[in-house]
Chain A
Amino acid sequence: MLRFIFNRLLQAIPTIWVIITLTFFLIMNAPGNPFSQEREMREETRQQLMEHYGLDKPLLVQYWTYLKRLASFDLGPSFKQEGRSINEIIAQGFPVSLELGLLALGVALLVGVPAGVIAAARQNTILDYLPMSGAMIGICMPTFVIGPILGLVFGVWLGWFNVAGWFSWEDRVLPAFTLGLAYAAYIARLTRAGMLETLGLDYIRTARAKGLREKTVVLKHALRGGIIPVISYLGPAMAGLISGSFVVETVFQVPGLGRYFIDGALNRDYFMILGTTIFYATLIVGANLLVDIAHTLLDPKLRKA
C-alpha cells in the first residue's frame, strides 16, 4: 500500500512539472504585456516595471528563476495588486473557495446518494423516475443558468436570501446549492447505476436468502459496492467544485480564489494566472491521488494489482 502511494506520488511530479512549463511558456509568449493596457504610462516607467518584475530577461532565465521560486513555494508578486504576493492572495481567497466547494460537495452527496439509492431500490416506479428526471435537469442546466435563476426566485422574488455577498451563513446557501446541484445530479445517476449492478450480484441474493431485512441488504451490503463509482467520481468532482467555482463566485460575488483568477485573466496579471493555474493543477492532481488511494482501500481486488 505504501509502495503504491509512493509510486503514484512519483507519477504526479512530472505531471505537475509539465503543467508548470506549459502554462509558463504559453503565458509568457502571449502577445502584449501586463502593462500595455494601462493608460498614460510612460515608456520609462513601463521599462522600470518590466525590470522590477524581471520581465526584461531572456525567457529561459525567467523560467529558471520562476522554477527556483516555486521550489520554495513562492508564487511571486501580483502585477496588478501592488505590494501583494500571489501567496497572500491564495491564502486569502482559497479558504473561501474551499468552504464553498466543501459545502457544495456536502449538498451533492446528501442529495445525490440518497436519491440514487432510492431510485435503484424502487426501480421503474415513480420514486425512480422523479429523481432521475430531476437529475437530468441538474445535468442540463449549467451553474450560470441555475445560479441567477435561484437568485431571482429565492433572492429577489421570495426575499429569503441575499443575492450577493459572503457574510452570514445564509449567504452560503444559494452558492452552495447552485454549485452542488449539478454534481448531485451526476452522483444520483452514478449511485443508481452502481446500486442496480450490485443488487444483481450473487452475494446480495445470499444476503436476502439469509433472511436479512431489505433495508439492511440495500444499505449495508449493496451500498458498499454500489458507491464505488461515486468514489471514483469524487476526484474529478472535487477538482471541478474547487476550480470550477468561479462562475458561482462571479454570480454571487463570493470573494474566492476563482474571482481573483478571472480578474487576473482579464487584466493579464501573469504571475496571478500562472500561480493560480499551478495551484489548481496541484490540487487536482492531489485530489485524484487521494481518490485512487480511497479506491484501493475500498476495493480489495485493486489492492493486489
Chain B
Amino acid sequence: MVFKRLTPSIETMESAAEKPHSLWVDSMARLRKNQLAVASLWIFVAIAAFCFIGPIFHPHAPDDSKITLRETPPFAEILEYEDRFGNAHQISRKDFPQRNRDLPGSVLEAVENGTSFVYKDIEYRNSKDIYFLGTDSQGRDLMARIMQGGRISLGVGFLATLIALLIGVTYGSISGYQGGRLDAFMMRTVEILYAMPFTIFVILLMVVFGRSLILIFVAIGAVEWLTMARITRNQVLQLKEQEFALAARAMGVSTPAIIRRHMIPNLLGPIVVYATLSVPAIMILEAVLSFLGLGVQPPDASWGSLISDGAQKMTSSPWLLLAPAAFFSITLFAMNFLGDGLRDALDVKSSKD
C-alpha cells in the first residue's frame, strides 16, 4: 500500500512524455512490419471466410449429388435437360458423346458447336451453372465440398488447440509452480506419454471410443497438450523466482490467484506462438486420421478425407486431388509463417522444449 503514494507522480511523468508502449503494442507493431506474416494472416482470413461465409453465396450444396455430372472437370460447359419424368439433370457437354453411344451426326455437330440440341425427344440447353473446381465421383460440387471440409479441418485445428492449451497450461503451471516431488511426478508422466508414438496413440483413442467428430477433438487435444505443459512449466519455473511473484507471495496472495493473475499473463507470449504453430500440426493430424479412414466419416468431409478421395481418382480426375491439396497446403503455409512471425515479434526464444 506504500507504493500507492508514488503513483500520481509517475502518472504526471508519463503524461509529459510519450505514452508507454505495452509489450503487446510493441509486438504488434513489429508483426506489422513482417510482410510475410501479414500476408499470411490475410490469406488465412480469406480462406476462413471462404469456408465459413462462402456457402451463403455459393449456389451449390455440398451434399447435392448429380449422378450425371460425376467427375466433371473445372469450368466445364454444362448442359441441362429434363428427363421423361420432368426431373432436371445436368451433364457436361464433353461427357455427352461418351455417355451416349452412336449419336447421329447432327447431334454430334451441335455438341461440338456449343449450341442447344434435341436428342431422343429431350432438349439439351446450355446451363449457366459453373463448377469452378469441378465435381467429385458422386457429382457433388467440389468447391462446396472444400468449403464444408475446411469448416471441419479449421474447426478441429482450433478447438483441439484450445483443449490442448487448457490442459497443458493448467498442468504445466501447477507442476512448475508447486515444484518438488509433485513436479517430478507430473513431468515423469509427461515424459512417459512422450514415448508413446503420437499418431498411434490418437488412432488407439479413435478405435477405443469410436469414430466421431467430437472424439477427434478430444483425442488430438489429449495428445497435443504435452508440449504445451512442458513450455508452461519451464516458463513458470523462471517466473516464480522473480520479484513480483515473490512480492505477491509475501503479501499472502493464494496460489491459484498467483497462477491466474501473475503467471498466466506473463506466459501469453510463448503460449500464443506455440498455439499458432499447433493449429497446422493438429490439422495435419486430423487429416492423417481422415486420410486413413479413421477420422471424419462420410458424408461429412474434411480436407484430409477429400485428399484421400482425390488420391484414389487422381489418374482420371487429378483436380479432385490437386484442389483440396492446394487449399490444405496454403492454409498450412499461412499458419506456419504467421507463427514464425509471431515468434519473432513476441521475441520468444524457442517454441519447442
- A interface residue numbers (CB < 8 A to B): 14-16, 18-19, 22-23, 26-27, 29-31, 136-137, 139-142, 144-145, 147-149, 151-152, 156, 163, 239, 243-244, 246-247, 250-251, 261-262, 265-266, 268, 273, 276-277, 280-281, 284-285, 288
Enumerate B172-206 residues with CB–CB distance to A below 8 Å: 191-192, 195-197, 199-200, 203-206
Query: Are A251 and B311 touching (Cβ within 8 A)?
Result: yes
Set B196, B291, B322: member contacting A144, Cβ < 8 A: B291
Q: How distant is the Cα of A26 from the Cα of B202 in the complex, in angstroms?
A: 12
**Which residue in chain A gives the minimum CB-CB distance to B291?**
A144
Are A243 and B199 also in contact (CB < 8 A) when A140-B333, A148-B314, A251-B311 are? yes
- Interface hub of B191, B294, B325 (most chain A Cβ within 10 A): B325
Q: Report the minimum CB–CB distance from B264 to chain A (whole Å).
A: 29
The 3 closest A-B pairs by CB, nearest first: A148-B311, A30-B208, A243-B197
- A interface footprint on B278-312 (CB within 8 Å = 1, 0 otherwise): 00100010011001111000000000100110110
Assess the B207–A27 pair: CB atoms within 8 A.
yes
A sample of 11 cross-chain residue pairs with beta-carbon separation below 8 angstroms, ordered by A number, consists of A26-B205, A144-B307, A145-B325, A145-B328, A148-B325, A151-B311, A152-B318, A156-B318, A163-B315, A262-B292, A280-B197
Whether the pair A281, B314 counts as a contact (CB closer than 8 A) is no
A250 to B304, CA, bound (A): 14
Closest to A251 in B: B311
Q: State the CA gap A147–B192 with chains docked (Å).
A: 32
Are A15 and B195 neighbours in the complex by a CB distance under 8 Å?
yes
Q: With A156-B315, A265-B206, A280-B197 in contact, do A140 and B329 touch (Cβ < 8 Å)?
A: yes
In Å, the complex CA distance between A246 and B192 comes to 23
**B197–A281 CB distance below 8 A:** yes
Within the assembled complex, what's the spacing in Å between the Cα atoms of A136 and B310?
Answer: 24
Provide the residues of chain A in CB contact with B195, threshold 8 Å.
15-16, 19, 281, 284-285, 288
Let me know if B314 and A141 touch, CB within 8 A: no
Since A136-B336, A152-B321, A247-B288 are in contact, a sample of 13 more A-B pairs with Cβ atoms closer than 8 Å, ordered by chain A residue number, is A18-B192, A26-B208, A27-B204, A137-B333, A140-B332, A140-B333, A141-B332, A148-B310, A148-B311, A152-B314, A152-B318, A261-B203, A284-B195
Q: Name the contact of A265 in the complex, choosing from B197, B294, B311, B333 (C-beta under 8 A).
A: B294
Tell me the smallest distance from the CB of B307 to a CB of chain A, in Å: 6
| B59 in the interface (beta carbon within 8 A) | no
CA distance A22 to B210 in the complex (A): 18
Q: Which of A30, A145, A288 contacts B329 (CB 8 A)?
A: A145
Inside 8 A of B311's CB, which chain A residues have their CB?
144, 147-148, 151, 251
Chain A residues near B284 (CB-CB < 8 A): 142
- The smallest C-beta distance from A240 to any residue of chain B, in angstroms, reads 8
Which of A14, A151, A152, A273 neighbours the largest number of chain B CB atoms within 10 Å of its CB? A152
Do A281 and B332 touch (CB < 8 A)? no
B281 to chain A, nearest CB (A): 10
Given that A27-B208, A29-B208, A144-B307 are contacting pairs, would A247 and B196 also be in contact in the complex, using a CB cutoff of 8 Å? no
Instruction: Determine the chain B residues whose CB is within 8 A of the CB of A140 once the complex forms.
Output: 280, 329, 332-333, 336
Given contacts A18-B192, A144-B288, contact A31 B200 (CB under 8 A): no
In the assembly, what is the distance between CA of A148 and CA of B280, in Å? 20
How far apart sit A16 and B200, CA to CA, in the bound complex (Å)? 15
Contact present for B203 and A265 (CB under 8 Å):
yes
Whether A144 touches B287, Cβ cut-off 8 Å, given contacts A27-B207, A265-B206, A277-B204, is: yes
Pick the contact of B314: A16, A136, A137, A151 (CB < 8 A).
A151
In the complex the two chains form, what is the Cα distance from A276 to B204 in whole Å?
A: 11
B residues within 8 A CB of A262? Answer: 203, 292, 294
Q: Is the CB of B192 within 8 A of A148?
A: no
A262 to chain B, nearest CB (A): 6
Q: Which of B36-53 contact A (CB under 8 A)?
A: none
Check B287 against A15 for contact (C-beta < 8 Å).
Answer: no
Out of B205, B288, B329, name the residue touching A141 (CB < 8 Å).
B329
B222 to chain A, nearest CB (A): 12
Residue of A nearest to B285 (CB): A142
B191-A15 in contact (CB<8A): yes
Q: How far is the CA of A222 from the CA of B269 in the complex (A)?
A: 33
| Chain B min CB distance to A25 (Å) | 10
Please indicate the chain A residues that have their CB under 8 angstroms from the CB of B337 in the complex: 136
- C-alpha gap A16/B195 in the complex (Å): 8
Complex CA distance for A106 and B315, rounded to whole angstroms:
30
Check B288 against A280 for contact (C-beta < 8 Å): no
A285 to B192, CA, bound (A): 10
Asked if B329 contacts A148 (CB within 8 A), the reply is no
| B288 interface neighbour in A30, A142, A261, A273, Cβ under 8 Å | A142
The reply to whether B200 and A261 contact each other, CB–CB distance below 8 Å, is yes
* B336 closest partner in A (C-beta): A140
Residues of A within 8 A of B310 (CB): 148
Contact B314 A280 (CB under 8 A): no
B196 touches A149 (CB 8 A): no
Give every chain B residue within 8 A of A149 (Cβ-Cβ).
321-322, 325
